[in-house]
Amino acid sequence: MTLGTTLQIAVSGLRTAQRALQVTANNVANVSTPGYARKLHAQEPLVLAGEGRGARALVERRVVDEFLATELRMREGRLGRSAVIEEFADRAQSLVFGTPGDTSSGIAGRLHELARALQALANDPDEPALRAAVVGAAESFARTVARSAEAIQALRRDADRRIDALVDAINEDLRALHELERETLRGGETPELADRRDRILRELNRKIDISTYRLDEGRLGILAGGGRPLLEAGPRVLVYEPPPVVEAGTIFGPIEIYAARDIDPATGEPSPGAKGAVLVTGGLRAELPPELATGTPADEALIIRSPLRSGELQGLLEVRDRLLPELADRLDELARIAAFALNAAHNAATAWPPPQSLVGTRREDGTFDAATRSGTAWLAVVDRASGAVLHTIAVDVAADFATLVSDLDTALAGYGDAAVDAQGRLRIALSAGYGIALSEGDSAISFTDAPGHDWTYGFAHYFGLNDLLVSEPGRPSRMGVHETLRADPGRLATARLAVDPGPPPSAALGGPGDPRGVQGLVAAFQREIETVARGRLSAVRTTVGGYAADLVAAHAAATREAEAEAGADRALVTELETRWSAVSGVNLDEELSRLVLYQQAYTVSARIVQITDRLFDELLAIAR
């Protein structure tokens, strides 16, 4: 072997050892880098004509368990979904129901305050301060329900905005993966590129349910849940247009997938005429409540369907389209039965002194004539100064609406009139000095509403002539105390009208100290009402307080379930990360021991170079 060959072998050893040191040092430097897979230095001997000619470094190898890495990505996707649901369930718990265990706040607490204020007034019905306290407690309850409904829609709006931002983030990840694929095709796959690809895939999998496969030339292909391609020859672009306002009746647009060439770079919107594939359908919500379902094919256009099963996007969709709408449905149900029970009691009573006029809250739309009707209600004309009943009128609710109003107007001749105002509401107005007192008698007006309640009203209750709580049409939880009561708590109905049907009919109105009207309001809290199924709350016959407790308990159970599922997913991801780290992570002790070994190899090669250099010098000296 010549000195030149010896030098060549030593230099190759230096280069190989230097590369090994670089790989090991890079491992040590990235010991805390998330997603970094340690690299193993590889080398092979150089052999020429059966004789050793040194060594050369090969491309380092990533230490990765592909099955474990795939399982970790999948579980992180599940955690992405469950963590989002856990977050929003907890936020709804705080915003709608208050701090757990705090009975002074939240809907249940406000309902308890109203019941307590009514019990106090029942002991002293003529005390103005106690009347004001009842009206204030009723307004506080109604306002809490209304604010809770607004909070639910605010949470839905937040979820929708996060969906919009998440779609943009998914598009960024797809573009980054496409650029990595192009870089790989140009220069071949390196461990660093593979690390970057895996990190982006983990982030993408946490955001959206995906599966991966290999195309020609080793290129990466990505499919979304349901089999829609997100990355093939080029990246796809997800497009979502969020609505400007999110309310209970908001129709959300679809999430569609377009080829990148179909997107206008100036606007970021699909080009005119471009057609995309629907990933998530647009619509109202994931499941229609009874009042919105028609049983026709038209329902399909309102149902939002997603093929995704994991990822933050799916979690946000479930929150926006199922969890929060069902909570809003249950809140509406509570508002309906609370208003029904309290308004039934309040309409069966009369304020002292009795009011000169009454205007109903119901806009008659033909429901009265279509309802099952029977019995008689009573209206008395009362002298507001003395409380004496001057005239007693029988109201036959079996008559059609027009006849009822006409007969009532005729019977009031000389005292006042009855008519239907421009908004379709029944209005009764008496002359100065006269007051109106009502008794429901045995009147019964029964019908089934859109959600499926079988309601039975009395005459005054049906028309809302003396309602305590009122709501916006079609929005039961947007409720408040009737404006006349807010302006004058003295209009609170505390007395009752007692009627002797005769003939001739006669009546007597209880005076300022009559507690029967307030006692009826207190009893309304014990009245059992048939509810309809709302999400996990099945149809049941219960009281207002019982349904409020069920509402709180149902969401608390859903929150605990979300926390348990997210906790289990989090624990499994942590376990898989530990296992992944045991296989692919950097062990400092091992790397430092390798550093010592490679330093020694480098030193040996350097020593051979040094000796060879000295031998060359000696040969040159001999030649001179």
Give the integer Cα–Cα distance in Å for 40 and 551. 58
Long-range contacts (CB closer than 8 Å, 24 or more residues apart) made by 191-198: 191/37, 191/39, 191/59, 191/60, 191/61, 191/62, 194/37, 194/62, 194/64, 195/35, 195/36, 195/37, 195/62, 198/35, 198/37, 198/64, 198/69
As a whole number of Å, the CA-based R_g of the chain is: 39
Tell me what the mean pLDDT of segment 494-507 comes to.
Answer: 93
Tell me what the mean pLDDT of segment 365-390 comes to.
Answer: 95
The pLDDT assigned to 95 comes to 87
End-to-end CA distance of the chain: 24
Give the integer Cα–Cα distance in Å for 183 and 290. 55
Cβ count within 10 A of residue 310:
24
Q: How confident is the model at residue 104 (pLDDT cuts 50, 70, 90)?
A: low
The pLDDT assigned to 573 comes to 93
Q: Which residue has the higher pLDDT, 482 or 70?
A: 482
Alpha helices in 412-482 (DSSP H): 459-463
pTM across the whole model: 0.88
Q: How confident is the model at residue 384 (pLDDT cuts 50, 70, 90)?
A: very high
Q: Which residue has the higher pLDDT, 80 or 38?
A: 80
Say whether pLDDT at 103 is over 60: no
Q: Where are the domains of the chain?
A: 3-63+585-623, 83-154+328-557, 165-325
Average pLDDT, whole number, for the chain?
90
Model confidence over 220-273: pLDDT tens digits? Answer: 889 998 889 999 878 899 999 999 999 999 999 999 999 988 988 888 889 888
Model confidence over 599-624: pLDDT tens digits? Answer: 887 788 788 888 887 888 788 888 76
Which parts of 240-324 are beta strand (E)? 255-259, 277-280
Q: How confident is the model at residue 149 (pLDDT cuts 50, 70, 90)?
A: very high
The pLDDT assigned to 99 comes to 66
In three-state secondary structure terms, 524 is helix
Say whether pLDDT at 1 is over 70: no
Residue 75 CA: distances (Å) to CA of 174, 311, 559: 20, 9, 21
Residue 227 φ/ψ region, left for φ over 0, alpha for ψ in the -120 to 50 degree band, beta for the rest: left
Say whether pLDDT at 447 is over 90: yes
Sign of the torsion formed by the C-alpha atoms of 7, 9, 15 and 21: negative
Q: Which residue has the higher pLDDT, 64 or 286?
A: 286
Q: Which residue has the higher pLDDT, 558 or 3?
A: 558
Say whether pLDDT at 49 is over 80: no
Three-state SS letters, 12-73: HHHHHHHHHHHHHHHHHHCCCCCCCCCEEEEEEEEEECCEEEEEEEEEEEECCCHHHHHHHH
The pLDDT assigned to 233 comes to 76
The pLDDT assigned to 368 comes to 96
Cβ count within 10 A of residue 220:
17
The pLDDT assigned to 17 comes to 77
- 238 and 171 Cβ atoms separated by less than 8 Å: yes
Does residue 353 have a cis peptide bond before it, meaning omega lies within 30 degrees of 0?
yes
Query: How many residues would you count in the chain?
Result: 624
Residues 6+ apart with CB under 8 A from 298: none
Say whether pLDDT at 572 is over 80: yes
